[in-house]
Amino acid sequence: MKKLITLLLTIAMMVTFILPAAGATTDSSTKDFHDQKLEAGLKALEDEKKSEDSEDKKNSNEKIQLRNPIIKLIQLIFTQATKTTSVVATSRSVATTITSHAIKEALKDGITNIMIDTILDGVSASGGPFKVDKFDDALGDSRVFYDYGTKTVIILAKTDNTIITVYKDTSTDGAASRIKAGRWKFGYWMFE
């Protein structure tokens, strides 16, 4: 049964996220990829906080048009996964809040909750000899985990353990250029 649900979830993710993105056009904006992801995450976090009270009313009135029954089944099973969720992450049991925007971005890039927990523990999710570094984002006023093995970026709020967004850094020199430019400064904070 678990294999069937996993297969259905994989197919639905491909249909929902990968196929529509294949025809998408690229934005000619001069903003850095990281800036775009950070802004989208912060905007989504702000929107979630504003609409927290009216969420239940809105959900009862809205019906999402679905393309096939598999997506409808998965939506039924995972309805709660699209809301901001408090979880206990890492092997040290650190309480973390993950926003719905971060969940959606992670699904788009194929990043699992196990990968996020592993990176937050300071271990590369690739399982190889790569390292995970912590940074302070000077412009974004946030904390950043960067996994060199999988090129996964996890952006946390500056003052609490809220995961604002998660994404794969697809640029060739993303982390290196941000460090060199002084945008990311090595962080000496403890994730706890």
Mean of the per-residue pLDDT values of the chain: 74
Q: What is the pLDDT of residues 60-107, one digit of tens each?
A: 444 444 445 555 555 555 554 555 555 565 556 778 888 888 888 888
Query: Which amino acid would we find at residue 178?
Result: R
Question: What are the domain boundaries of the chain?
Answer: 86-192
CATH code assigned to 86-192: 3.30.2310
Q: What is the DSSP letter of 26?
A: P
Strands (E), the chain: 85-89, 94-98, 132-137, 142-147, 152-157, 162-168, 184-186
Q: Per-residue pLDDT for 128 more than 90?
A: no
pLDDT computed for residue 28 by the predictor: 41
What digits encode the pLDDT tens for the residues 22-43? 444 444 455 677 788 888 888 8
Q: Do residues 187 and 134 lie in contact, with contact meaning Cβ atoms separated by under 8 Å?
A: yes
Tell me, what amino acid is at 10?
T
User: pLDDT value at position 125?
Assistant: 87
Distance spanning both ends of the chain, measured CA to CA? 36
Cα separation, 161 vs 179, whole angstroms: 23
Q: What is the pLDDT of residue 134?
A: 93
pLDDT value of residue 37: 84
Q: Quick one: average pLDDT of 46-52?
A: 74
pLDDT at 170 over 60: yes
Q: Which two tokens stand for residue 128?
A: 């190889």
122-127: average pLDDT: 86
Split at pLDDT 50, 70, 90, the class of 142 is very high
**pLDDT at res. 185:** 93
The span from the CA of 19 to the CA of 90, in Å, is: 32
The strands making up 85-89's β-sheet, listed across from edge to edge, are 85-89, 94-98, 162-168, 152-157, 142-147, 132-137, 184-186
pLDDT of residue 152: 93
Q: What is the arithmetic mean of pLDDT over 124-133?
A: 86
127 phi/psi in degrees, rounded to 5: 80, 0
More confident position, 35 or 163 = 163
Residue 190: band (very low, low, confident or very high) from pLDDT cuts 50, 70, 90: confident
pLDDT of residue 87: 58
| H or E element at residue 67 | none
Q: Is the pTM of this model over 0.75?
A: no
